Structure 1
């Protein structure tokens, strides 16, 4: 799993129990998956189609630093399927896992657009 982004848990990220609000972490995951997919598929019109079961394993608290990890599961014709793990940066304890997140590339009319990709590409390799 490649961990791409770190977040610092602040007071505005907490729920009434004093732990990280589930909606906030899902917002961060969705944004991270969108950014990753837009870069991989080279299409700024890429959207979330599906998220499988969300498994909350542990909590995060104010002051914790978490990191969001993403791996590619498969490339579809117009989609990219990812999996995600969020963990505490310092303790490595898993906070949340999502086994399947499907992102879809769209055309200008909002229809699925084939992307022709079959493997992970790094921007540095595209610039050669």
Structure 2
């Protein structure tokens, strides 16, 4: 069953690696700006770097605890800046943002587990 933490790391990290690549390239800048994020062009790219580096670290199991903290540092401000469901009048849009907010809360919980327990037996950290 040593493969279970590896599979979990892979599935967890994919969202951060894929979105990190997009954000470093500038995807999401307009959306962040429309949500009121100051200096969106700069901050989206910084967030993309945090996401990408943290995601790769967890994926490879190399310094995974540090990588998990990078993911947390990425997720917390993004969650509160972008997914403010409590301020949306349209019930359908509010529900979608609440789903994204709660997804990010769950991802923070998962990252906290990795930050505490590490990458598991099949990882570069364990070599």
Which of the five TM-score ranges fits, normalised by the shorter chain?
under 0.3
Q: Which has the higher strand share?
A: 1
Under a length normalisation based on structure 2, what TM-score does the superposition of the two structures give? 0.28
Structure ranking higher in helix proportion:
2
